[in-house]
Amino acid sequence: MLHKPLDAALFGASFWLAHWIRSLPVFDHENLIQDFSVYAWLLVVIVPLIPPLLGFQGYYQRPLFFSRRLTLWQLVKAAVWITIVVNTVLFFRKAEVSRGVVLLFLPIAVGIVFIKEEAVRRWNLARRGNQAAHKRVILVGSSGRSGEDTVRLERSIASGTLGDVEVVARVDLADTAPSRLAELLHETSANAVIISPRQALFSQIEVAIQVCELEGVEVWLLADFFQTRLSQATVDELNGQPVLVFRTGPEASWQALIKSGIDFTGSVALLLATAPVMALAAIAVRLTSPGPVLFRQQRAGLNGHPFTMLKFRTMVTNAEQMQQELAQLNEMSGPVFKVTNDPRITPVGRFLRRYSIDELPQLWNVATGEMSLVGPRPLPVHEVKRFDDPAHRRRLSVKPGLTCLWQVSGRNNVSDFKEWVRLDLEYIDNWSLWLDIKILLRTVPAVFVGAGAK
């Protein structure tokens, strides 16, 4: 992981900076501080020890949107431990090092690494885009004390202390059926549910969590109903209160941050590299078929949030109106429409589809954060509304992608929508950066040979 060597390097640089500050004339009137080369051997002690010291405290297992207080405390402990180690080594080697350098090293190291963490946090919030950084939440509470907690929580949200959070609906567990909560999730495209419970309502809370679990939507359960004081939040904190997060999709982690970076850099690089191909494709579409070059359609993105997906137009302009006439030819079970040798496809469109050239404009959707390079393929909004199994919506709990397990598993061989969903959920449940890399590597030969395209 890149941040481990970066943290080690920053601690090493902090030691050099502490020496430089201590040797300034304003602090070293008598020129007693020796050249840094005398101290440089201590970097061999400091740099290798920092990653394991931080890792032992769970520093690298934190959620991506970490608690600042916890982060600062972990950095302080690591800096104190490395200072103790340095002093111990100096004692046994009987080496003389300015105490001022060692004392300055602790706050400088903590400050620099904490600034780096804040910069990463802010970059990630900006990079993940409105759909991920902007939280659309449903508040679930009840009458009584829990209702008061919900009011207090709303004040915190309104003040902006919880970040970019928007309350899109409010639900009272005492008089709301679970089916209504599911409807609100669909209507609002909420990507989180905050539950402020009472012990007497645990049965209703369990049902509400199960509804969100089927939908693939995060649940934030305010856990301050416990009588004992927790040493730290096991999953996350929300405005200083311990929170249990029930999540069925990949969590916001450092791997997710790296994936986001790969999506952006990869999509921009591919846009530049494939620009000549896209230019030729655009000319071919324009010259061989009347109508627009690009096909724009509302697709269901993260948590079902609609976005406009781009493709090169491969069908006649009235293709969507003709779909009902071809309904009896549909080869895919469920809400999805697929037909081999679809008569609506133009000759140029058939070639573009065979080699997935028609999908290239979606690199712009990836660059803008609406899609990912790897993820479940986005379905039209009207098809998502026809899902007859709530569990199918869990495929919406991650960003849609250009390629996925379904595509590299042979699209022509998958005719059951449930099998399609099973492959998507298999990807979600087993997600890792290495899995993304394997799917991308399997996609490249599939594109060149035109395998599985319809």
Alpha-helical (H) ranges within 94-201 are 99-127, 129-133, 145-159, 178-188
Beta-sheet strands, E only, within 259-305: 294-300
Q: Which carries the bigger pLDDT value, residue 23 or residue 360?
A: 360
Identify whether the C-beta of residue 452 lies closer than 8 Å to the C-beta of residue 434.
no
Shortest CA distance to 378 belongs to which of 299, 262, 277? 299
CA–CA distance, 270 with 101 (Å, rounded to integer): 48
Rg of the chain taking only CA atoms, in angstroms: 27
Same domain, 207 and 265: no
> Considering 127, 160, 191, which residue would you say is the last residue of a domain?
127
On the question of pLDDT at 239 being above 90, the answer is: no
pLDDT at 163: 63
Q: Kindly tell me if the per-residue pLDDT of 308 is higher than 90.
A: yes
Query: Could you give the percent of the chain with pLDDT greater than 70?
Result: 76
Whether residue 338 lies inside any domain: the answer is: yes
146 plus 274 within the same structural domain: no
Q: Quick check: 281 and 360 in contact, CB under 8 A?
A: yes
Q: What is the mean pLDDT of residues 293-303?
A: 92
Q: pLDDT tens for residues 39-80?
A: 777 788 888 888 888 877 777 766 655 667 778 888 888 888
Looking at the fold, whether 286 and 393 belong to one and the same domain comes out as: yes
Residue 391 included in any domain = yes
Q: Could you tell me if residue 334 is inside a domain?
A: yes
Q: What's the confidence (pLDDT) of residue 295? A: 92
Domains: count for the chain:
3
Of the listed ranges 134-143, 177-186, 341-350, 423-432, the one predicted with least confidence: 134-143
Give the pair of three-digit tokens for residue 206: 């369990």
Last residue of a domain, one of 246, 268, 300: 246
Is 416 in a helix, a strand, or coil?
coil
**Residue 448: strand, helix, or coil:** helix
Task: State the average pLDDT over residues 269-290.
Answer: 92
Q: What is the pTM of this model?
A: 0.61
Question: Is 417 within a domain?
Answer: yes
Q: What share of the chain has pLDDT > 90, as a percent?
A: 15
Q: How far is CA 432 from the centre of its chain?
A: 12
The rounded distance, in Å, linking the Cα atoms of 43 and 32 is: 21
Concatenating the DSSP letter of every residue in 197-235 gives --GGGHHHHHHHHHHHHHHT-EEEEE-TT-SSPPSS-SS
So what's the pLDDT on residue 231?
38
Q: For position 29, what pLDDT does the model report?
A: 53
Q: Which residue has the tokens 């309502």?
A: 201
Q: Which of 92-106, 123-137, 191-205, 402-416 has the lowest mean pLDDT?
A: 123-137
**Region 357-361: what's the mean pLDDT?**
93
Residue 323 C-alpha from the chain's centroid = 35
Average pLDDT over residues 1-10: 80
* pLDDT score of 129 more than 70: no
Q: Are residues 384 and 305 in the same domain?
A: yes
Same domain, 62 and 146: no
414 band by pLDDT with thresholds 50, 70 and 90? low
**What value, to the nearest 5°, has the Cα angle with vertex 304 and ends 388 and 171?**
85
Backbone angles phi, psi at 274, to 5 degrees: -100, 5
Distances (CA, A) of 382 to 2, 16, 304, 389: 42, 60, 11, 15
412 pLDDT above the threshold of 60: no
Q: Decide: residue 295, CB within 10 A, 0-12 exposed, 13-18 middle, 19+ buried.
A: buried
Locate 244 and state its tokens: 């249990």
Same domain, 116 and 150: no
Q: Are residues 261 and 391 in the same domain?
A: yes
Extract the tokens encoding 304.
């079902």
Same domain, yes or no, for 231 and 279? no
Would you say residue 343 has pLDDT above 70?
yes
Contact indicator for 109, 83 with CB cutoff of 8 Å: no
The token pair at 117 is 């963490």
Average pLDDT taken over every residue of the chain: 78
pLDDT of residue 289: 87
What residues make up the domain containing 198? 130-246
Q: How confident is the model at residue 278 (pLDDT cuts 50, 70, 90)?
A: very high
- Does residue 454 fall inside a structural domain? no
| Segment among 56-65, 163-172, 232-241, 266-275 with least mean pLDDT | 232-241
Asked whether the beta carbons of 398 and 376 are under 8 A apart, the reply is yes
Q: Measured between alpha carbons, how far is 355 from 350 in angstroms, rounded to an integer?
A: 9
Same structural domain for residues 78 and 141? no
- Asked whether residue 242 falls in the same domain as residue 259, the answer is no
The mean-pLDDT minimum among 169-173, 238-242, 423-427 falls in 238-242
Interval 134-142 mean pLDDT: 79
235 shares a domain with 290: no
Q: Is the same domain home to 229 and 286? A: no
Is 30 among the domain residues? yes
Q: Which residue has the higher pLDDT, 99 or 376?
A: 376
Residue where one domain finishes, among candidates 71, 99, 127 = 127
